Amino acid sequence: SAQLQALVGFSAQDGTANEHVAIGTWNNTGEYYIRVSGRNGAFDNQQPFQLDVTRLGGSCGNFVPATLPPSSIPASSGNYKTIILHDAARMEAENGVTDDQLVLRLQTLAQRPDVGGVLVNLGEDARINAARQQAETYANCPYATNLWAYEVRDIIQRYWDNNRQLAYVVLVGNDSIIPFFRYPDSAPVSPESDFEPPVLDDSISEANLRLNYVLSQDAYGSRREISLQNRLLPIPNLAVGRLVETTAEAMNTINAYLSTSAGVVNTPTSALVTSYGYLEDGSRAVLEELQNGLPSNSNFSQLIEQYDVPPEASWSADDLRPLLLNQRHDLIYLAGHFNPSRLLAADYSSTISATELKNASVDFTNAIVYSSGCHSGYNIVNDHAVPQVTDAPPDWAQAF
């Protein structure tokens, strides 16, 4: 029934014991309904019951969304396939690459026939700037950051309305330039609130973690969302990607794409697959798929430890280094435990850092890297890192 589909919480004590439900509305808005029913339909119209409802504001209790100015960016029509959104003037400059140089390179990218893009400068939009300033003022309130993200999505959807063949969304910058959407983490084991990179206490990154939200950008390519219990789930239609984090790092990725023929990488002929513990079966499946799909003369490297091998007898960081840092592999699948800047080896004691990868002599240009490791793709906003405490950049998202 519709009531069961929309159920977000219940209490069902035995007998006449007091019932109690505590739920978080998180990102959901609208009306909530409370239904009181006796077990198996039992009731007594001679005995009254008392219903008390208390609303707690939490970290967003003092947040009242402001009335924002109208958007100043018109959504043009040009048979665009790709929309590229940036606020380059606010990005961290690195290695002498200025924001103007980055914008010129983005224009070159947009003009490629295989991209067919339109470049949108969010920094020129009064409504976006007001939403960003509001989110920064209420940095402890993830809902305020989500409102900023929805304003960015509104621009994408207006372009989408005028360019029905739109297929790709490119976001340029980290979470403080164009925010991820925040969604409550309902995982009963290792919730996001247990994760400590660490980041500054007064940052939007810290609020997101301590209040147990996970990050996603699927909604930027979605027209519809469904409410499921305490969460909103976007239904993706457009492919969404992101360039992080500095001007130089974004430039490097753009140049790698521009070096391809029509955006297509060369046929892969080598692959590396690693894993241990409970990720073994998935990694072996990945390896089998690659062996079946790549050319017969391809080179395959693997470090897949059986799940029941004790850590002291498993592969170490020194076993992985020559495979990852000294050899080129076109496809790389890394399964294991991560933090944003370090990979934990199967021996559970040695690590490889993202800095080692960045400084490696191997050319990783247009290698395709994917991972099932928690936070292997988590990009720490450099300005949110705790000085002398958080691992220095890069994180894995930057290094690759």
Q: Per residue in 333-379, pLDDT tens? A: 999 999 999 999 999 999 999 999 999 999 999 999 999 999 999 99
Determine phi and psi for 172, rounding to 5 degrees.
-110, 110
pLDDT band for 2, please (50, 70, 90 cuts): confident
Is residue 326 pLDDT above 80, yes or no? yes
What percent of the chain is modeled with pLDDT above 90?
82
- In CATH, what number is assigned to the domain containing residue 352? 3.40.50
For residue range 4-23, list pLDDT tens digits in order. 777 888 888 888 889 988 87
Structure tokens at 357: 């990868």
Q: Which of 199, 213, 233, 127 is closest to 385 using CA atoms?
A: 199
Of the two residues 47 and 289, the one the predictor is more confident about is 289
Measured distance CA(193)–CA(398) in Å, rounded? 23
Instruction: Return phi, psi of residue 84, to 5°.
Output: -115, 120
User: What percentage of residues in the chain have a pLDDT greater than 70?
Assistant: 99
How far is the C-alpha of 237 from the C-alpha of 235, rounded, in Å?
7
Same domain, 203 and 285: no
How does the average pLDDT of the chain come out, rounded? Answer: 94
pTM of the model: 0.90
- Together in a domain, 200 and 316: no
Number of domains in the chain: 2
Containing structural domain, residue 73: 1-263
Q: What is the average pLDDT across 193-221?
A: 96
Residues 311 and 204 in one domain: no
Select from 239, 263, 287 the last residue of a domain. Answer: 263
Task: Single out the residue in 206, 234, 263 at which a domain terminates.
Answer: 263
Pair (208, 101) in one structural domain: yes
Beta bridge partners of 344: 351
Residues 202 and 323 in one domain: no
Both 120 and 248 in one domain: the answer is: yes
**Structure tokens of 52?**
């008390």
* Residues 357, 210 share a domain: no
280 and 252 share one domain: no
With b for 16 or more beta-carbon neighbours within 10 A and e for fewer, the 181-200 pattern comes to: bbbbbeeeeeebeebebbbb
Q: Is 121 exposed, middle or buried (0-12, 13-18, 19+ CB in 10 A)?
A: middle
pLDDT at residue 174, as a whole number: 98
**In terms of domains, do 278 and 326 share one?**
yes
Tell me what pLDDT residue 357 has. 97
* Confidence check: pLDDT of 279 > 90: yes
Q: How far apart are CA 277 and CA 32, in angstroms?
A: 43
Which pLDDT tens digit goes with each residue over 40-55? 888 888 888 899 998 8
How far is Cα 19 from Cα 48, in angstroms, rounded to an integer?
14
Annotate 216-238 with b (16+ C-beta within 10 A) or e (fewer).
bbbbbbbeeeeeeebbbbbebeb
Same domain, 21 and 111: yes
Does the pLDDT at position 147 exceed 80? Answer: yes
Judgement on whether residues 244 and 358 belong to the same structural domain of the protein: no
Among 228, 263, 298, the domain-final residue is 263
Residue 159 pLDDT more than 90? yes
Arithmetic mean of pLDDT, 74-90: 97
Residues 203 and 62 occupy one common structural domain: yes
Give the three-class secondary structure for 228.
Answer: strand
- Residues 339 and 396: their CA atoms lie apart, in Å, by 9
- Going by C-beta distance under 8 Å and a sequence separation of 6 or more, which residues neighbour residue 347? 311, 312, 314, 315, 316, 317
Give the integer Cα–Cα distance in Å for 190 and 353. 22
